[in-house]
Structure 1
Amino acid sequence: MPEGLITRALSSFYYVKSNNHLWECKARGLFKKHQITPLVGDRVIFEEINDQQGYITEILPRKNELVRPPISNVDQAVLVFSVAEPDFNSTLLDRFLVHVEKAGIPSLICLTKLDLIEDSTIIDEKMDVYQKMGYKVVKTSSKTKNVEELEKELEGKISVFAGQSGVGKSSLLNALIPSLQLETAGISPKLGRGKHTTRVVQMIELPSDGLVADTPGFSQLDFQGIDSNTLGRYFIDIDQFSDRCRFRGCLHVKEPGCAVKEAVENGEISAERYSHYLDFYEEVKEKEEKKWR
């Protein structure tokens, strides 16, 4: 039976590309029985019904996967955040980074709508924190077609675009591929946030020999599958100081002799990042306590 790549998922249908041909497939009942859901990015074995339809019979081993957005086998996650309309959201960025670090996927931070601000000093200072940690940051504007640096970072890779609604993910793809003409929308004046234009996860071929998954935007992201004892591992700046703490298993909250808190006081760890860690820790801890009541 042939092997292919799931490039799009819609309801219970999976669109599998194999040898430059696309099959509309359904998954065999055994996946539902074992609570396994095929994901965009999965390499699969499928059985042909005809030259347009088929059944997925096997999902090949995944090298990684994300729950939200639901995707597998990516080389990098491109975290897309606007500097205005909507305003840059460092809390949501750190939430994304926690999930991507847990999945073991390299991250690229992509700033959009640079044409909407006159002074980039504040955003540059914020990005300097992430760059010092080792994260790559690219700045773009789809309106001025300033996407060359991003294009180089996507070349030859399977990437997933993820970010808040309205930050311009679809506009970026339209700038990278002018013939694509994905639907775009601005900010809702009533809600003060972006409107959803992408409704499904789908793989899009780039001219530069790469694939990008466009995903629906959202404004909230919970910590499903992450516990309070391991949260610090997914803050790479906190994790590098954790083995210097006086007590093994230090949670960097109230413990004495905490090297992380000392690093925050000395300016070696961003106070804002540490504040986000404490907020996330309390959120996860509260869910854990509710679970055991």
Structure 2
Amino acid sequence: MPEGKIIKALSGFYYVLNHDHEIIQCRGRGVFRKNKVNPLVGDHVVYQADNSTEGYILEVNDRKNELIRPPIANVDQAILVFSAVEPDFSPLLLDRFLVLIEANNIQPVICISKTDLVPEDKKEKISNFAQDYKKVGYEVILTSTIDKDGVQVLLPLLQEKISVFAGQSGVGKSSLLNVLRPELGLKTDNISSHLGRGKHTTRHVELIEVGTGLVADTPGFSSLEFTDLEVEDLNYCFPEIEEHSKGCKFRGCTHTSEPKCAVKNELETGEIQQYRYDHYVQFIEEIKDRKPRY
């Protein structure tokens, strides 16, 4: 049976890119609903088809990871697009995204967009944020779709991988893709001056070929909940905290109230940024306050 990758899911149809670079329109078999299998964009599937518009997905292969929002599977890396201004750069929201990505073993790349719009009195602040995240070990790229700064740096990172572009609405995800592939002509909208955020311009998840890679332009969203994350897992989602936690006296230290905590010692020396630690503590409280699911 032929195999391929789902590159778009829309209105009950799955569009499968096969090894011959053909796109086959498929439906899911009824057995999927019975077994609660939900094919996702990015899935490797086995299908059968007599022609390009009447195929059926027979089997969904094992996934190495999957995201719920946006719904996509087998992601190699996430390009987290956060604007420097309009809307203002939010390290709290970025850290939420990073925790989700780290928890799913996906390589994150931080892209700070709209750098051409940064006023002089905010440039140093944005530069300092970029340096902080680079020090943690993240790849950070500063971009502008107006003067094209940094955009071409993204291209080599996308090759031979499935990448997801994620971030708030209005931060410029579709604009970046339009620069990388101008013929796409993806719809973009300016920030609403009344709401202070962008309109949702991307309505569904779709994998787009960029060079030899596949990139997902995803619906923007502005909040994340840690529905499947436990307190003991959070440590591993902050690389600098995980690194220094090896020096803590107590195994399973949460770095909040325990004595002889190496993480809090590094916080005092400035090796760990206060705002990153504050977010870590905030996320712990959110996880503790989470209502149990039955």
- TM bracket (short chain): over 0.9
Measure, in 2, the Cα distance between the counterparts of 1:133 and 1:191. 33
Letter in 2 for 1:29: G
* 1:157 to partner: Cα distance: 2.4
Equivalent pair of 1:161/1:214 in contact (CA under 8 Å): yes
TM-score by length of 2: 0.94
Aligned counterparts of 1:5 and 1:101: Cα–Cα separation in 2 = 24
Match of 1:130 in 2: 133
Aligned length: 290
Alignment match, 1:265: 268
State the 1:272 CA deviation. Answer: 0.4
| Contact residue 25 and residue 52 of structure 2 kept, 8 A | no
User: Which residues of 2 match residues 129-278 of structure 1 at below 5 A?
Assistant: 129-146=132-149, 147-206=151-210, 208-278=211-281
Q: Shift of residue 68 of structure 1? A: 2.0
Q: 2: CA distance between counterparts of 1:262 and 1:31?
A: 52
Deviations 1:70-106 (A, max 9, x none): 2122221110110011111111110111111111111
The two structures, once aligned, show a CA RMSD in angstroms of: 1.5
* 1:36 and 2:37 aligned: yes
Task: Determine if contact 2:113/2:142 at 8 Å carries over to the other structure.
Answer: yes
Q: Deviations over 1:192-249 (max 9, x none)?
A: 111100011101111x322111100011111121012221111111111112111111
Give matches, 1:87-106, under 5 Å. Answer: 87-106=88-107
Q: Distance in 2 between matches of 1:34 and 1:127?
A: 45
Counterpart of 1:33, as a letter, is K
* Residue identity matched to 2:176: L
Which deviates more, 40-49 or 170-179?
40-49
AA aligned to 2:89 is F
The amino acid across from 2:261 in the alignment is C
Is this contact kept in 2: 1:4–1:44, CA < 8 A?
yes
More displaced, 9-18 or 79-88?
9-18
DSSP 3-state at the match of 1:164: coil
Q: Which amino acid in the other structure matches residue 131 of structure 2?
A: D
Amino acid paired to 1:254? S
In the alignment, is the contact (CA less than 8 A) between 2:9 and 2:41 conserved in 1? yes
5+ residue gaps, structure 2, are none
Residue number in structure 2 paired with 1:53: 54
By how many angstroms is 1:292 displaced? 7.6
Shift of 1:188: 1.4
Contact in 2 for aligned 1:140/1:150 (Cα 8 Å): no
Q: For the residues of structure 2 that align with 1:144 and 1:183, how far apart are their CA atoms?
A: 20
Deviation per CA, 1:4-32: give whole Å up to 9, x if none: 11001123221111122212212112222
| Structure 2 SS opposite 1:241 | helix
Q: CA deviation at 1:39?
A: 1.1
Q: Is the 8 A contact 2:41 2:206 kept in 1?
A: yes
Task: Describe the superposition over 1:256-289 as per-residue Cα deviations: whole angstroms up to 9, x where unpaired.
Answer: 11111111111111100000001111111000xx
Gaps of 5+ in 1: none
The percent of aligned pairs where both chains have the same amino acid is 53
**For 1:123 and 1:164, how far apart are their aligned partners in 2?**
17
Contact 2:255 2:261 survives alignment (8 Å)? yes
Counterpart-to-counterpart distance in 2, 1:11 and 1:135:
37
